[in-house]
Amino acid sequence: MKAAELFVKCLENEGVDRIFGIPGEENLDVMDALLGSSIKFVTTRHEQGAAFMADVHGRLTGRAGVCLATLGPGATNLVTGVADAQLDMAPVVAIAGQAATTRLHKESHQVLNLVEMFRPISKYSTQILEPSVIAEVVRKAFKVSETEKPGVSFIDLPENIAAMDMDATAPLKVQRAMAPEPPAEKIQQAINVIKKAKSPIVMVGNGVLRARASEELVAFAEALGVPVANTFMAKGVIPFSHELSLGTVGLQSHDYVSCGFDQADVIICIGFDMVEYHPYLWHKEKDKKIIHIAEEPAEVDEYYILELGVIGEVGCSLKEISKAFSKPAFQGAPKLRQVIVDEIQEHAEDNSFPVKPQKIVWDLRQALAPEDTVICDVGAHKMWMARMYQAERPNTCIISNGFASMGIALPGAISAKLVNPKHTAVAVTGDAGFLMNCQEIETAMRIGTPIVIVVWNDSKYGLIKWKQDIHFGRESNIEFTNPDFVKFAESFGAKGYRIEKTEDLVPTIKQAIKDDTVVIIDCPVDYSENMRLTKKLGETICVS
């Protein structure tokens, strides 16, 4: 068999069902081997889109998403999506073709040292130099990528190696590392600290979603009676409708949820990753006792010095601690929760136009089922979605907040729909982020993947305007013009709607879902609310 055929068999052995990417000269043998494979190749229109699709696949499934490019510019186009997966801790295996090994030692057309280029943005980066090591390299790439904390493995496959004939050989047995049980003495220490607390609060990070421990988290909160805040990337880990949920924390401002941290004496951080919400923003005085419950030891940081760490399988840790509480020892934070709920509902009946951000978020929630998936892009809209979108299920509101790259929403929504075809997938994006990967509309149409794209239209880099207004009181080079988004959709054979009055938003979203195709909804947004929010946060008074 050819080495490329073994390479594809190894991918099949890892359970890969899709590869996102673009064919090229240096991956010809791999592309040909895929013709006889059970793996579906999703041809994208840009390698960045392919990497983002693999990224979201990894987040939703816990299994490495796979993207493929050719050498040189094809590989460099993967970088942004790969870096996003690495910093957001999504399992991805990125593969690039490479020139023949006979020209890697010298200056040569399109040749870059890809292994070194990807090394800083991956957990594992390697080049295959002999067909005999393919099975080991592929097995290691998936093992490293999927092991906590997950991230990216990169494989460089030179074209002459892929084309070599070799004796028939088999992929290696797939073995998955399991997190150990937490030490009993650490469980007891955590119980002792919690029982002595006067006002504990839980902050949940994306690690709980990665551990698939949402049910254990909810049971833990109920057993203790302790309020729970989640980071941007952990939305839905506890239903927002739950009486112990305080919603999302993570704005770099002092909001109502932050008040819960101000008043706490013990902060129980569960599955928390520092890239999600830096401790200097919520632990300025360094006066709280921090319990770190995760599968990996805590990062070293002067604002995140632990009282103790409970390292091991997260769900097991939560179950063991919960056993010590026969009845809730705390009373949640009902007054604070009510203030947060009231704020989210404040603009439910606001029909002013252009549409206020709060209203767009509210209407989107009303139009979608609890299990539908929203992929949020990066920009001013992300702050509103993170703050106000009421996620009721794990992994139903995907927000990039480690690398926080614009352009993820549209390709991410395609991937989400492929993973969960029975549920609606919505890309929530600004007009700037939308145009960064809008070419993937063609991909969605070609492969028959219906998604809804809600474009918050203000013809500006809205988040940067917000920051400029705060820091300087004036704007600098943030305006641009947009195409007619309805005609743009139609040019791909998709559908487009323009919101002309606020009352039309909910019925338009519902109609877009019924259309069962790719739909763009052009929604003018009133971002004057950004500065009003800034003023409100500056005046926030903590509620006891």
Q: What is the pLDDT of residues 21-58, one digit of tens each?
A: 999 999 999 999 999 999 999 999 999 999 999 999 99
CA distance 537 to 534: 5
Burial class (CB in 10 A: 0-12, 13-18, 19+), 277: buried
Model confidence at 105: pLDDT above 90:
no
Backbone φ/ψ region at 17: left (φ over 0), alpha (ψ -120 to 50), beta: alpha
Report yes or no: 270 and 298 within 8 Å, Cβ to Cβ. no
**How do residues 387-423 score in pLDDT, each as one tens digit?**
999 999 999 999 999 899 999 999 999 999 999 999 9
Which bin fits 10, alpha (ψ -120 to 50), beta or left (φ > 0)? alpha
Percent of the chain with pLDDT over 90: 86
Q: In the predicted model, is pLDDT for residue 256 greater than 80?
A: no
Under the banding of pLDDT at 50, 70 and 90, the label for residue 202 is very high
pLDDT at 235 over 90: yes
User: In CATH, what class is 3-163?
Assistant: alpha beta
Tell me the average pLDDT of the chain: 94
pLDDT at residue number 474: 95
Q: How confident is the model at residue 483 (pLDDT cuts 50, 70, 90)?
A: very high
8 A C-beta contact, residue 497 and residue 522: yes
Whole-number pLDDT of residue 539: 55
Tell me the C-alpha to C-alpha distance, in Å, between residue 39 and each of 16, 143, 206.
Answer: 7, 19, 29
pLDDT tens, residue by residue, 125-169:
999 999 999 999 999 999 999 999 999 999 999 999 999 999 888
- Reported confidence tier of residue 255, pLDDT bands at 50, 70, 90: low
Judged against a pLDDT cut of 90, whether residue 312 lies above it is answered with: yes
Question: Given pLDDT bands bounded at 50, 70 and 90, which one contains residue 204?
Answer: very high
Confidence (pLDDT) at 321:
98
Specify the DSSP class assigned to residue 26.
G
Class for domain 184-333, per CATH?
A: alpha beta
**pLDDT recorded at residue 538:** 54
Give the pLDDT confidence score for residue 531 in this predicted structure.
Answer: 78
Return the higher-pLDDT residue of 254 and 356. Answer: 356
Is the pLDDT at 533 greater than 90, yes or no?
A: no
Q: What is the pLDDT of residues 272-299, one digit of tens each?
A: 999 999 999 899 999 999 999 999 999 9
Dihedral sign (CA 429, 432, 433, 437)? positive
Does the domain at 346-536 match CATH 3.90.950.10? Answer given as no
pLDDT value at position 487?
A: 98
Which has the closest alpha carbon to 75: 6, 122, 11? Answer: 122
What is the strand order of the sheet 18-21 is part of? 40-43, 18-21, 65-69, 92-98, 152-158, 124-127
Instruction: Please report, for residues 18, 362, 514, the alpha-carbon distance to residue 418 in angstroms, rounded to integers and kept in the order given.
Output: 9, 26, 18
Domain ranges of the chain: 3-163, 184-333, 346-536
| pLDDT on residue 136 | 97
- The DSSP code sequence of 203-269 is EE-HHHHHTT-HHHHHHHHHHHT--EEE-GGGTTSS-TTSTTEEEE---SS--HHHHHHHH-SEEEE
Q: What is the pLDDT of residue 262?
A: 87
pLDDT at 251: 73
Which has the closest alpha carbon to 400: 34, 59, 27? 59
Q: Looking at the predicted structure, is the pLDDT value of residue 215 above 90?
A: yes
Mean of pLDDT values over 104-129 = 93
In this prediction, residue 177 has a pLDDT band, given cuts at 50, 70 and 90, of: confident
Task: Give the pLDDT mean for 464-477.
Answer: 92
pLDDT of 365 higher than 80: yes
CATH topology identical between 3-163 and 184-333? yes
CB 216 within 8 A of CB 318: yes
Return the number of other C-beta atoms located less than 10 Å from residue 346's C-beta: 14
Is residue 544 over pLDDT 80?
no
What are residue 454's DSSP bridge partners? Answer: 428, 521
Cα(294)–Cα(296) distance, integer angstroms? 5
The pLDDT score that the predictor gives to residue 253 is: 60
327 prior amide bond cis, ω within 30:
no
